[in-house]
A and B are shown apart, each in its own frame.
Chain A
Amino acid sequence: MIWYTGKRLLQMIPVFFGATLLIYFMVFSLPGDPIAALYGDRPPAPGVIEQIRAQYNLDKPFIVQYLIYIGNFFQGDLGTTYSGRPVGDVMAQAFPITARLALLALAIEAFFGILVGLVAGLRKGKLFDTSALVVSLLLISVPTFVIGFVLQYVFAVKLGWARTTVSSEAPFSELLLPALVLASVSFAYIVRLTRASVSDNLNADFVRTATAKGLSRRRVVGVHVLRNSLVPVVTFLGVDLGSLMVGAIVTEGIFNINGVGGTIYKAIKLGEGPTVVSFIAVMVVIFVLANLLVDLLYAALDPRIRYAK
């Protein structure tokens, strides 16, 4: 297991370089001149543009730019945005907020999703199950921004239980409502996944055998159905952690949160190579680590899965 983990961590190196190179290339290829755009309709003195281009190494070939960037990256210098702020600062501000939001959303969708899915699976065809299916279908088909605005209107504007926007410190209490919105779609998927998995396992031979042993229903479900049903759900959660981190753009927009999604979006619009690539590089690392965690959890849940050294 240790060997396997080590091997997986080593695999991160080529993934890291591949992903950053690719992203860097894509940003480089974006149409438009970011520096010219900075000045809008009033062009600056000709020498100024050249000076700025040289300062950001924009006058050098693509691959040289990339190598300079990567070299700096490993010295802890992530470059500066075109407005002069160090990218490191922007990250230090955006990542903790988004991480809190994503983890809160993950906790909400995992807890309620598995709970509702389990009960629905156990009562297949009954009222609870049908309602759960209808609600989950609704959540999947209605766009996030609609759910976001509705919840914002009801809970923040009408009932006044939460703030309409999140302050710049973004404590957990203020992030609860946005996290709920962010979790809604994945919650629906987890309900369906758990439900299907539970109802499959309920019909498994080993569940019948467990009942024939004289075990109580509670124990049969808790010990023999639940653990087996969690394997596909855990896989989904791991992949979802990544999407929650980047996919929060809409939710961050609605609640005015200065998180990762919004920052990347703005940076892409401005063609700020270093900002985009630095953020993506960190995202790639998070993604790979989350997937590794899933694979290890997978093996913990299902002993048949043993990874070769």
Chain B
Amino acid sequence: MSQTVIEPVSEPVNDGSGLAKEPLLQIRDLEVGFQTQRGLVPAVRGVSLTLYAGQTLAIVGESGSGKTTTAQAIIKLLAGTGTITAGQILFEGRDLAGLSEKQMQDVRGRLIGYVPQDPMSNLNPVWNIGFQVEEAIRANNVAQGKAARQRTIQVLQEAGLSDAQDRLKQFPHQFSGGMRQRVLIGIGLSARPKLLIADEPTSALDVTVQRQILDHLGTLTRDYGTSVLFITHDLGLAAERAEQLVVMYKGKVVESGPSQEILANPQHPYTQRLVAAAPSLASRRIQSAKNDDASGADIYSGGSLDTTLVARAAEREPAAEARDLIKVQNISKMYRIRTKGLKYNELLAVNDVSFAIKKGTTTALVGESGSGKSTVAKLILQLESITSGQIEFDGQDVAGLKGTALLKFRRRVQPVFQDPYGSLDPQYNVGNTIAEPLLAHKIGSSAERQARVRELLDQVSLPWATRYRYPSELSGGQRQRIAVARALALKPDVLVLDEAVSALDVLVQGQILNLLTELQTELDLTYLFITHDLAVVRLVADNVCVMQKGKIVESASTDEVFDSPREAYTRELLAAIPGANFEFGR
């Protein structure tokens, strides 16, 4: 990537209305560092931004860019040893950086609300929901006594929990992720703050839930005239939800301005890469490239990896002559969930699903969490047994394979899982991790295995020296490359990729997707690609099966699904892709 880092844009962004309003929040040359054993490590380096009343501003950047640190510095809730070392945070003209902890108590909640990233860990598991909301209302003196309880119900109803009254006594673990995020939004807005900081409020949620929640948040903040500082890694999402964008990279602001302008005409090379990599925008670009023979994919010069990916996706031809490698016929999976005593509830996780995957192609299985898509993967991998139906691999029925036959099957069908942190053994170095499948299947001598590891590292574009490193020393993208290398070790025919890129930053996601497509051509691999992200599907898949509640509701080629979706549910999923309705300038 380019090494030129342009001057941080420090002039206040204009809200475009031409009104000379007093800014609500003005950050000037903010510097934040973390104290470590090797001294102060800067995380935010000279960030300046301006947010006017009633405006929404998004800070965009990859993880480690300092966007969350900037947000946390505003309410002085920096993690661990973080400290503000220089700069001003002016909120209504008052410098928050200089306030005492006691004075900050009055600012937090009452003037500045905060909606955190992960709804799973941000509610205290041992207190009920009503208690946790009411607490915020009392602390900020919005209401006391009985009135506080009434207000709690009102706040939760506004946040989209229609049955709030009945659920006050319930605990966080009895709520779904989306519901918890609504509670957190309710808490953040409970005191009607002037500014709401929303730190990736929906990145842990399904696209459709994400859309509902962001729509709702947008309505609420518009009604109350609340300014929103929105933190996200997804440029498409940011552009859709905010009028102003601030792009951060390595602790600095590299570009800022109105969203439309930045998206249509990114100046800084990093922003250009972000625009090129955002899957949500890429799917739009494929559309442009297809509709327009002048190849819209070329607008970002330099022939970046992502451009090739887009071009390839646009030129994809249906592979008609290939044979079906995997044939799934009417499979069902029933789970028995123990309820009371010896009674069971039956849950049909997969309901009469059929599809086929041709050799050398990619089939995507799409759906929200709980749709049964991961269960299908487990069934195909023979990690769980099917209740009924038939799975054929290379013309052979694989249900109930045992012993060596099962081992043989496993050699040819390998999985790659979602979490690059959890799926690698932290005690094993990279070389051993990649060689492990070879060892398990007793293939080759020690020297031959070494050679194979070298070849595999090369295939996933990692240096040979990586073999001595441990997972904790590597980035998420590098780890996922290693997971892919391990899956390829046995020269399989099929890779089952279960949300394999969902946990990665957009730029890294683009790289891995690109790697996967290259490997597919090179090694004639067949992919079963499981994801909730339709935008990614557009980039890599030949065929799409949309799953809902255990059933395949729509199954067609990727182009058909995107161009003329038949089912309402598919249209809903498509509409939920951030930036899908955004006019993409060229």
Contact call B126/A204, Cβ cutoff below 8 A: no
Q: Which of B91-148 contact A (CB under 8 A)?
A: 101, 105-110, 113-114, 116, 118, 121-128, 135-136, 139-140
Q: Which one of A108-116, A142-150, A299-307 is at the interface?
A: A299-307
Q: Which of B71-87 contact A (CB under 8 A)?
A: 75, 77, 79-80
Closest residue of A by beta carbon distance from B107: A214
How big is chain B's contact interface, by range? 35 or more
A208: interface (CB < 8 Å): yes
Give B310-345 as 1s and 0s: 1 = Cβ < 8 Å from A's Cβ atoms. Answer: 000000000000000000000000000010110000
Contact call B121/A304, Cβ cutoff below 8 A: no
When the two chains form the complex, which single residue of B107, B109, B113, B124 contacts A224, counting CB atoms closer than 8 Å?
B124
Contact call B126/A205, Cβ cutoff below 8 A: no
When the two chains form the complex, which single residue of A215, A224, A304, A309 contacts B173, counting CB atoms closer than 8 Å?
A304
Q: How far is the CA of A209 from the CA of B340 in the complex (A)?
A: 36
A85: interface (CB < 8 Å): no
Q: How far is the CA of A211 from the CA of B136 in the complex (A)?
A: 10
Contact call A212/B105, Cβ cutoff below 8 A: no
Report B142 CB to chain A, min CB distance, Å.
10
Contact call B106/A309, Cβ cutoff below 8 A: no
Report B278 CB to chain A, min CB distance, Å.
27
Report B117 CB to chain A, min CB distance, Å.
8
Q: Which of A213-254 contact B (CB under 8 A)?
A: 213-217, 219, 223-224, 227-228
Closest residue of A by beta carbon distance from B190: A213
**Count of residues in A whose CB is under 8 Å from the partner chain:** 26
Residues A214 and B126 in contact in the complex (CB < 8 Å), given A203-B80, A205-B118, A206-B121: no
Residues A213 and B124 in contact in the complex (CB < 8 Å), given A208-B116, A304-B171: no
For residue B282, which residues in chain A have a CB less than 8 angstroms away from its CB? none
B237: interface (CB < 8 Å): no
For residue A228, which residues in chain B have a CB less than 8 angstroms away from its CB? 124-126
When the two chains form the complex, which single residue of B139, B188, B341 contacts A215, counting CB atoms closer than 8 Å?
B139
Q: How far is the CA of A285 from the CA of B80 in the complex (A)?
A: 47
B277: interface (CB < 8 Å): no
Q: How far is the CA of A213 from the CA of B135 in the complex (A)?
A: 8
Residues A213 and B136 in contact in the complex (CB < 8 Å), given A203-B80, A303-B171: yes
B191: interface (CB < 8 Å): yes
B254: interface (CB < 8 Å): no
B187: interface (CB < 8 Å): yes
B391: interface (CB < 8 Å): no
Closest residue of A by beta carbon distance from B137: A213
Report B134 CB to chain A, min CB distance, Å.
11
Q: Which of A272-307 contact B (CB under 8 A)?
A: 301-304
For residue A209, which residues in chain B have a CB less than 8 angstroms away from its CB? 114, 116, 122-123, 184, 187
A210: interface (CB < 8 Å): yes
For residue A212, which residues in chain B have a CB less than 8 angstroms away from its CB? 75, 77, 108-109, 113-114, 116, 188
Q: Which of A86-132 contact B (CB under 8 A)?
A: none
Q: Which of B154-195 contact A (CB under 8 A)?
A: 171, 173, 184, 187-188, 191
Contact call A219/B124, Cβ cutoff below 8 A: no
When the two chains form the complex, which single residue of A203, A206, A213, A308 contacts B139, counting CB atoms closer than 8 Å?
A213
Q: Which of B482-500 contact A (CB under 8 A)?
A: none
For residue A223, which residues in chain B have a CB less than 8 angstroms away from its CB? 127, 135
Q: How far is the CA of A211 from the CA of B114 in the complex (A)?
A: 10
Contact call B125/A214, Cβ cutoff below 8 A: no
Residues A303 and B77 in contact in the complex (CB < 8 Å), given A209-B123, A214-B191: no
When the two chains form the complex, which single residue of A211, A219, A227 contacts B77, counting CB atoms closer than 8 Å?
A211
Report A306 CB to chain B, min CB distance, Å.
10
For residue B139, which residues in chain A have a CB less than 8 angstroms away from its CB? 213-216, 219
Closest residue of B by beta carbon distance from A214: B109
When the two chains form the complex, which single residue of A205, A215, A302 contacts B122, counting CB atoms closer than 8 Å?
A205
Report B190 CB to chain A, min CB distance, Å.
8
Report A268 CB to chain B, min CB distance, Å.
44
When the two chains form the complex, which single residue of B79, B108, B171, B173 contacts A214, counting CB atoms closer than 8 Å?
B108
16 contacts between A and B (CB under 8 A): A208-B79, A208-B116, A210-B124, A211-B77, A212-B108, A212-B109, A213-B140, A214-B105, A214-B107, A214-B140, A219-B135, A302-B125, A303-B126, A303-B128, A308-B340, A309-B340
Q: Chain A residues in contact with chain B, CB under 8 A?
A: 203-217, 219, 223-224, 227-228, 301-304, 308-309
